[in-house]
Amino acid sequence: IDPTQYIRQIIRNVPDWPKPGVTFRDITPVLQDPRSFRVLIDLFVYRYMGQKLDLVAGVDARGFIVGSVLAYELNLGFVPVRKKGKLPFNTVAEEYSLEYGNASVEMHTDSVRPGQRVLLIDDLIATGGTLLAAARLLQRLGANVVEAAAIIDLPELGGSKAVTDSGLSVYTVCS
Ligand code: 5GP
């Protein structure tokens, strides 16, 4: 079986969560199953080894899980892109809009040095708002965002297109 298909079939669709009418793509079974966890990380390793990256930036919270393992495998550092109010040192923030209201992501001001080549990673792209805000944050810190990656794309929500239209390269394992 094809590795992408293997992962796709293990992702669990949870109807009506977090609210009626929404189907949540749950990646916890992919992490729980040792074979799909390894295949998932290996797909990212295969894509990014030799890309002369400096850092992996993972988005709170599922982006931490895949991002930190990937960074370790590629011998890179890991930096967190966190939800508002979680980081203890000096921070920069970027806001993005949700269906109702706003949210923001934060990074430590010293988490990236200008010119560093950074891979940005999260578990899923829906509207793209989260990854776009994270990319703006990294760019404000002077990073060269080499690619924005995720496990799952929901193309019907237009997020991967929006991220691509902003000038960023996008990679997702499956949709
Ligand atoms: P966006 O900003 O692209 O609209 O939403 C993506 C963010 O929301 C990601 O951080 C992702 O973790 C979370 N998210 C939204 N919908 C889902 C879903 O169905 N499954 C998972 N695993 N995460 C989701």
- Confidence class for position 163, pLDDT limits 50, 70, 90: very high
SS3 track for 133-175: HHHHHHHHCCCEEEEEEEEEECHHHCHHHHHHHCCCCEEEEEC
CA-to-CA distance for 117 and 55, rounded, in angstroms?
Answer: 7
Atom 11 of ligand 1: nearest residue by CA position: 124
Residue 143 has pLDDT above 90, yes or no: yes
Per-residue pLDDT reduced to its tens digit, 69-117: 999 999 999 999 999 999 999 999 999 999 889 999 999 999 999 999 9
Who lines ligand 1 at CB under 6 A? 24-25, 27, 59, 62, 122-130, 159
Residue 6 has pLDDT above 90, yes or no: yes
| Confidence (pLDDT) at 1 | 86
Ligand 1 centre to CA of 32 (Å) is 19
Complex prediction ipTM = 0.99
Ligand 1: atom nearest CA of 24 is: 19
| Confidence (pLDDT) at 43 | 98
Model's pTM, two decimal places?
0.98
